[in-house]
Amino acid sequence: MLLAIEGISGAGKSTLRDRLLDAARAEGLPLGHIGQFSWLSLPATRTIVRLRSGLRAAESTEAISAVRLDLDQHGRHNLAPALARGHVVADRLTLSTACQLALVHGLPVADCVQQLVHVPTARAELTVLLTTPAGLCLERLSRRATQRRFGEDPETASRLADLYDQATTAWTGVTGLPVLRHPCSTGTDLDTLTAMCLSALRQAPAPTARV
């Protein structure tokens, strides 16, 4: 199973990922971790770096082509081999990329999902959208020593939260695949999310190679 954890910065994605990895290891469940991008194409990487900084490509079609190329390479060269060895949890994946495209280029996020959803090797069987309130996310970010990045201000974080909500609706509409929406605001939330994800992993078929 490929499980994607999505949500705005500070929502609790890394915390949930680490809890899942520890819990799966304790149970003997094969679970690996992978990131959002492949970084295997230099031209695509240049466009993605600009996108993550809030800078547009010359044309929105150029940005879409770049992220589709990266997602395809990610699926074939990173995700497929990892999934042949066990389950995989991705800290951000297709929906985060769709939301970044929509935010930076002013595109309908449902259209961005449509453009990215047809990469079969990168399609998450279960997506977890962390709906942690934006105010709490920003409070968590304020306690980090790292410099704030694009999207980590109140106005943009609120806009991104709306885009994620729309993107997950579009994702389920196109793929029929489930999205678990839940906040990760408290320790109880984290326990609940971990238990639900572990349950899905236990019930998932044994990992096989993707093509």
List phi, psi (to 5°) of 207: -60, 140
pLDDT tens sequence across 158-190: 999 999 999 999 999 999 999 999 999 999 999
pTM of the model: 0.94
* CA pair distance 139, 119, nearest whole angstrom: 35
* CA pair distance 175, 168, nearest whole angstrom: 10
Q: Quick one: pLDDT at residue 168?
A: 96
- Superfamily (CATH H level) for 2-203: P-loop containing nucleotide triphosphate hydrolases (3.40.50.300)
Burial (CB count within 10 angstroms: exposed 0-12, middle 13-18, buried 19+), residue 181 = middle
Strand 126-130 versus strand 2-6 pairing type: parallel
Average pLDDT over residues 82-97: 95
pLDDT tens sequence across 46-87: 999 999 999 998 899 999 999 999 999 999 999 999 999 999
* CA pair distance 138, 131, nearest whole angstrom: 13
pLDDT tens sequence across 7-29: 999 999 999 999 999 999 999 99
Among 3, 7, 10, 54, CA closest to 33 = 3
* CA pair distance 97, 71, nearest whole angstrom: 9
List phi, psi (to 5°) of 142: -65, -20
CA 185 to the chain's CA centroid: 18
Residue type, 198: L
| pLDDT class of 147 with cuts at 50, 70, 90 | confident
Any idea what the Cα angle at residue 51 is, between residues 45 and 57, rounded to 5°?
85
Ramachandran area for residue 98 (φ above 0: left; ψ -120 to 50: alpha; else beta): alpha
What CA–CA distances, in Å, run from 132 to 75, 78, 79, 185? 28, 29, 27, 6
